[in-house]
């Protein structure tokens, strides 16, 4: 049994599993390993200090894999934004065929990517955003439930509702993001109407992830409750792993007169990078989702993806189909759902 559909055909990949773009994590080592394992690996453009560095990282990734991989470009509002147009040009001139976009007002980037025949996956956190992205001309929606690491939006809708709600309204393929890390999740996403899954935190706990082993062990040791929601009062909610830094951010943010400047010294990206690279878990934020509670090991990407597909196929072929009894001739035209014997 092969889990193939219009999403895998569109991207030219073997398995409907995407490694989402992650700041400081989406480097060539990880992206190539995911692609070689049959999924879609993604480099994170803004992890690279300059557009020329991104070009070099794309070239480096190509020395590690001959399979499809993509580049993430996340657009965030900023007083001093990075040179997005230059990063976009580096992606196009490097002949990248797949881009993951996310963030604020991506229209000009989507238009330019589509003008150069690039497949665009756009991450959304609400049905209304997915519909807007579809009108914008993207090819695939990655719909991000409340369980996710990073920014889940302000609606607090979990994937069990958000995924089918999006499927009901959007015509292009969607993949499910937020809370996925094993074959059960993939089977559930497919049952809800998605055509694949996007994983972030789960890929941080792999052998090829370019982060410190202490961070990987931290993720494995955490349970599903070990996250904090930060930036809520500033209407830019983020989900991170619970550590001394995120606990402090939550504590400060509860003050009636708290402003962003009060927490800014704790949440800088350079501090998060230091944590990932040195393993100092009290240095900065660790962006991780509730899927931590289902992560119990640090496998290679090949072992992880093979395991997810095998688990999903077993669930679909054996566990679910064995519960259905087709009507006998003369019986009403229906199926009966039966409990499996213990």
What tens digit of pLDDT does each residue of 316-337 get? 998 888 887 766 666 665 555 4
DSSP notation for 180-241 = --SHHHHHHHHHTT-S-EEESHHHHTSTTSSS-HHHHHHHHH--TT-EEEESGGGT--EEEE
Backbone conformation region of residue 24, classed left if phi is above 0, alpha if psi is from -120 to 50, else beta: left
Please state, in angstroms and rounded to a whole number, the distance separating the CA atoms of residues 152 and 157. Answer: 9
DSSP notation for 296-312 = -----HHHHHHHHHHHH
Q: Helix, strand, or coil here: 45?
A: helix
Range of weakest confidence among 104-108, 187-191, 247-251: 104-108
Position 246 pLDDT exceeds 80: yes
What pLDDT does 321 receive?
Answer: 82
What pLDDT does 219 receive?
Answer: 98
Q: pLDDT tens for residues 121-151? A: 999 999 999 999 999 999 999 999 999 999 9
Mean pLDDT of the region 33-54: 98
Please state, in angstroms and rounded to a whole number, the distance separating the CA atoms of residues 121 and 175. Answer: 9
Position 47 pLDDT exceeds 60: yes
What pLDDT does 322 receive?
Answer: 80
Please state, in angstroms and rounded to a whole number, the distance separating the CA atoms of residues 211 and 287. Answer: 12
Please state, in angstroms and rounded to a whole number, the distance separating the CA atoms of residues 58 and 300. Answer: 22
> What percentage of the chain reaches a pLDDT higher than 70?
94
DSSP 40: B
Domains (ranges, CATH) in the chain?
A: 6-210 (3.20.20.70)
Q: What is the mean pLDDT of the chain?
A: 94
What pLDDT does 342 receive?
Answer: 46
> What percentage of the chain reaches a pLDDT higher than 90?
89
Nearest to 238 by CA among 269, 283, 203, 205: 269
8 Å CB contact between 44 and 66: no
- Claim: this prediction has a pTM higher than 0.85: yes
- Give the DSSP H or E segment for 269: helix 269-278
CA separation (Å) from 81 to 24, 66, 75, 235, 282?
18, 33, 9, 20, 28
- Give the DSSP H or E segment for 39: none
- Give the DSSP H or E segment for 5: none
Mean pLDDT of the region 213-231: 98
């Amino acid at each position: 049994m092969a889990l193939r559909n219009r999403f895998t055909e569109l991207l030219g990949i073997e398995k409907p599993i995407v490694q989402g773009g992650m700041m400081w994590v989406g480097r060539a080592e990880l992206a190539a390993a995911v692609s070689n394992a049959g999924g879609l690996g993604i480099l994170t453009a803004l992890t690279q200090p300059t557009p020329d560095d991104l070009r070099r990282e794309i070239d480096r990734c190509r020395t590690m894999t001959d399979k499809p991989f993509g580049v993430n470009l996340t657009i965030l509002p900023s007083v001093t934004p990075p040179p997005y147009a230059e990063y976009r040009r580096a992606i196009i001139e490097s002949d990248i065929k797949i881009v993951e976009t996310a963030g604020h007002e991506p229209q000009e980037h989507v238009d330019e990517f589509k003008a150069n025949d690039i497949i665009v996956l756009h991450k959304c956190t609400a049905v209304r955003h997915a519909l807007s992205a579809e009108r914008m001309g993207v090819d695939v929606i990655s719909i991000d439930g409340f369980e996710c690491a990073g920014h889940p939006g302000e609606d607090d809708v979990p994937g069990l509702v958000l995924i089918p709600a999006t499927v009901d309204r959007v015509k292009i393929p969607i993949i499910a993001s937020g809370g996925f890390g094993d074959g059960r999740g993939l089977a559930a996403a497919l049952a809800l109407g998605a055509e694949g899954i996007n994983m972030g935190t789960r890929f941080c706990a792999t052998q090829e992830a370019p982060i410190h082993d202490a961070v990987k062990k931290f993720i494995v040791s955490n349970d599903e409750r070990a996250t904090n929601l930060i930036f809520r009062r500033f209407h830019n909610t983020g989900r991170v792993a619970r550590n001394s830094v995120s606990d402090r951010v939550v504590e400060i943010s509860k003050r009636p007169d708290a402003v962003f400047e009060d927490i800014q010294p704790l949440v800088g990206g350079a501090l998060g990078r230091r944590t990932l690279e040195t393993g100092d878990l009290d240095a900065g934020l660790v962006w991780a989702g509730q899927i931590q509670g289902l992560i119990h090991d640090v496998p290679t990407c090949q072992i992880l993806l093979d395991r997810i597909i095998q688990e999903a196929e077993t669930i679909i072929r054996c566990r679910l189909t064995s519960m259905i009894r087709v009507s006998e001739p003369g019986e009403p035209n229906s199926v009966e759902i039966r409990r499996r014997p213990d």
